């Protein structure tokens, strides 16, 4: 089947790192799993020299005290998570904005995007 798919111009992607780690990021679910692995194993590629790597919540993010960040939730710089929002296993890219009382589970919110309401397994 794989050979047929490639013959139909299917694409395969991956990254080979010199430090022996392989991550499949072919889907949003894979991307979320990679973040979980990086955080739980405190894995750092050899070329990263940031002292805080890996860091789940960037100090430049604004998180309301009543917001809940559960599981493997990662918040990038300049993000804003408003009051009573709940994020479960969710990744926020730089400048993502989460509205009050939003509930996101297994989501990716891209840079400069906003999310409100309830979302599951979504890329926003």
Confidence band (pLDDT; 50, 70, 90) for 13?
Answer: low
The pLDDT score that the predictor gives to residue 22 is 75
Predicted confidence (pLDDT) per residue in 66-110, tens digit: 999 999 999 999 999 999 999 999 999 999 999 999 999 999 999
Per the structure block, which two tokens stand in for 65? 């005290």
Verify that 112 and 69 share a domain, yes or no: yes
Whether residue 68 is contained in a domain is answered as yes
CA atoms of 59 and 79, how far apart (whole Å): 10
Verify that 28 and 71 share a domain, yes or no: no
Verify that 103 and 69 share a domain, yes or no: yes
Verify that 76 and 34 share a domain, yes or no: no
Higher-confidence residue of 36 and 81: namely: 81
Whether residue 7 is contained in a domain is answered as yes
72: containing domain: 62-120
Whether residue 53 is contained in a domain is answered as no
Verify that 113 and 78 share a domain, yes or no: yes
Confidence band (pLDDT; 50, 70, 90) for 50?
Answer: confident
Of the candidates 56, 89, 55, 58, which has an alpha carbon nearest to the alpha carbon of residue 72?
A: 89
Residue appearing with tokens 């013959």: 7
Helix/strand/coil for 40: helix
The pLDDT score that the predictor gives to residue 94 is 95
Number of domains in the chain: 2
For 24, 27, 91, 124, the CA distances from 13, given in Å and listed in that order, are 8, 11, 21, 22
* Cα 53 from chain centre: 14
């Amino acid at each position: 089947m794989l050979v047929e798919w490639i013959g139909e111009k299917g694409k395969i992607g991956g990254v080979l790192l010199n430090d022996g780690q392989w991550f499949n990021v072919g889907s949003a679910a894979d991307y979320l799993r990679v973040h979980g692995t990086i955080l739980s194993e405190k894995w750092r590629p050899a070329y990263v020299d940031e002292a805080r790597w890996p860091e789940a919540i960037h100090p430049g993010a604004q998180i309301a005290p009543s917001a809940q960040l559960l599981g493997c939730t990662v918040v990038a710089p300049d993000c804003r998570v408003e009051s009573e929002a709940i994020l479960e296993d969710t990744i926020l890219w730089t400048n993502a904005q989460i509205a009050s009382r939003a509930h996101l589970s297994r989501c990716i919110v891209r840079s400069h995007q906003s999310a409100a309401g309830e979302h599951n397994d979504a890329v926003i």
